[in-house]
Amino acid sequence: MIELIPLILFLAICLLLMLGFPVAFTLAGTALVFAAFGIIGGVFDPNLLKAMPDRIFGTMNNETLIAIPLFVLMGILLEKSRLAEELLENMSKAFGRFPGGLSISVILVGMLLAASTGIVGATVVAMGLMSLPTMLKRGFDPRFATGTICATGTLGQIIPPSIALVLLGDIISNAYQQAQLRTGVFNTETVSVGDLFIGAIIPGLLLVLGYLVYVIVTALINPDKAPPATDLGELSRIELAKSLAPPIGLIFLVLGSIITGVATPTEAAGVGALGALLLSLAKGRMNLARLQDSLLKTVETTTMIFMILIGASLFSLVFRGFGGEELIHSMFLNMPGGVVTAVIIVMLVIFLLGFILDFIEITFVVVPIIGPVLLMMGLDPIWLAIMIAINLQTSFLTPPFGFALFYLRGVCGEEIKTKDIYQGVIPFIAIQLAVLLALAIWPSLVTWLPSIINN
């Protein structure tokens, strides 16, 4: 029974989170309760809790995590400046006359917005408010329109610079170093957030390409689902270039500086935040009130993330104190099929947890537990991180509990039925599963570009 305490702790936390209790305090509070009973029962070493201040101090000194508030600020500033709204309007004028043209515009703009905000909820809500009324007004099938918007919104999970990849990069880096030390490698290699950004480029583009092929083929076969628009007005190439240049230029500046090694992800995030502020001021769409609101939302989001990180750190400390990591390791080693079976089970568990937990919680709670074990079995850390990110992206899109579906449902009018949203995302789920399978069969789709650039 004592050996099962780590699993009971994990299940208790999942249950409490499903009941709606605050994530950070649930993680920390439940861990402390289990630790207290463990100390009373003589099965938990109280000295382990003395490591918690060092963990918090280590988090405070982690330069990689400074990128989080900077990327969050960058996305909020771009949202407040309405650059995405202007871009969607102009892209719609450029593509709207073609069958499925508005869908193409939504995917392309959503891709840029995802790269700017890096947060699934923000992208889904923004695209829902901006594009759904227009698509319905132009006669788009509600299922086709909502499916396109939901799927596009989840691109914020994988397209760099993604907040999810920043968090995953830090956790995977720690897990990789632990795995090497436990296998006797003391001159450890490192994995950076920049490596994950580079590794996510090809998978992200494959997803976008898959979405575009689907909407174009669907519009050609069944034009009634995505009819062309004839009343969007004219658009010159200069006007299109003016709306495209700012967000694309900012994204290339951020990613380009990371890929070329000119700047670290944290430094690039600072450049991105400053660039977003300058763009907003240049467009005349930033005043003191909007800037204060943007800063306040950035502080709120950052505080939430770091509170969860501290709570998850306490949870992982108690989990390991009860021998949880050894339990997981022995379970994986004794599985028939070895590493392949272990990866399949972990991906399935993460997929199911994506219904009830946000990516932040899964990253901080689950990945530190399973990461070192899987990496000790010889998996590439960059490949594992990207597989987890796309897996979560698919989970957030899958009925009936996908977070992206709830986000869009919250901004839809009553004319949109929930079943329409559920049915609309099914083809996009198939596309994401196809990409996930392709990455499993050909890991070089993830690892090739980082190996080329790093060499």
Residues 6+ apart with CB under 8 A from 428: 147, 148, 150, 151, 211, 214, 397
Helix (H, G, I), strand (E, B) or coil at 82: coil
Burial code of 240-273, b = ≥16 C-beta within 10 A, e = fewer? eeebbebbeebbeebbebbbeeebbbbbbbbbbb
- Tell me the C-alpha distance between 366 and 346, whole Å: 9
Question: What pLDDT sits at residue 203?
Answer: 94
How high is the pLDDT of residue 430? Answer: 93
Q: Is 304 exposed, middle or buried (0-12, 13-18, 19+ CB in 10 A)?
A: middle
Distance CA 334, CA 80 (A): 53
SS (H, E, C) 15-58: HHHHCCCCHHHHHHHHHHHHHHHHHHHCCCCHHHHHHHHHHHHH
Residue type at 143?
R
Which pLDDT value is given to residue 122? 65
The answer to whether residues 80 and 280 touch, using CB atoms and an 8 Å cutoff, is yes
- In whole angstroms, what is the distance from residue 294 CA to residue 123 CA? 16
Taking only the tens of pLDDT, the chain with its 455 residues reads 677 888 888 888 878 877 767 778 888 888 899 999 888 888 888 888 888 888 788 777 777 778 888 888 887 787 777 777 777 777 777 776 777 778 888 888 888 777 666 566 667 777 777 778 878 887 888 899 889 988 888 887 888 877 788 888 888 988 888 888 877 777 777 788 888 988 999 999 999 999 999 999 998 888 888 887 665 556 667 777 777 777 778 878 887 887 777 888 788 888 888 888 888 888 777 788 888 888 898 888 888 878 888 888 888 888 888 887 777 777 777 777 778 888 888 888 888 877 777 777 788 888 888 888 888 888 899 999 999 999 988 888 888 777 788 778 777 777 788 888 888 899 999 999 999 999 999 999 999 998 888 76
Which H/E stretch holds residue 395? helix 381-397
Which phi-psi region, left, alpha or beta, contains residue 161 (left: φ > 0; alpha: ψ -120 to 50)?
beta
In angstroms, the CA 222 to CA 227 distance is 9
Distance between CA 42 and CA 234 in Å, rounded? 76
Q: Contact 408/149 with Cβ under 8 angstroms?
A: yes
For residue 8 the two structure tokens come to 């009971």
Q: How far is Cα 10 from Cα 158, in angstroms, rounded to an integer?
A: 27
Cα angle 301, 207, 88 (rounded to 5 degrees) comes to 65
Report yes or no: 31 and 9 within 8 Å, Cβ to Cβ.
yes
What is the pTM for the complete model shown? 0.83
Residue whose structure tokens are 């770091």: 306
Within 10 A of 25 (CB to CB), how many other CB atoms are there? Answer: 13
Cβ–Cβ contacts within 10 Å for residue 427, how many?
A: 19
Q: Concatenate the DSSP letters of all residues of 212-268 into one string.
A: HHHHHHHHHH-TTTSPPPS-S----HHHHHHHHHHHHHHHHHHHHHHHTTSS-HHHH
SS3 119: coil
Summary count for the chain: helices (H), strands (E): 21, 0
- How many Cβ atoms are within 10 Å of 341's Cβ, its own excluded? 12
- 279/295 Cα distance (integer angstroms): 16
C-alpha–C-alpha distance, residues 383 and 264, integer Å:
21
- For the chain, what are the domain ranges? 2-454
**Phi, psi for residue 150 in degrees, rounded to 5:** -60, -50
Compute how many other C-beta atoms are within 10 angstroms of the C-beta atom of residue 452: 9
- Taking residue 399's Cβ as centre, other Cβ atoms within 10 Å add up to 16
Q: Give the Cα separation of 77 and 62 in Å (integer).
A: 25
User: How confident is the model at residue 302, as a pLDDT?
Assistant: 83
Q: Assess contact for 207 and 155: CB atoms under 8 A.
A: yes
308 phi and psi, to 5 degrees?
-65, -40
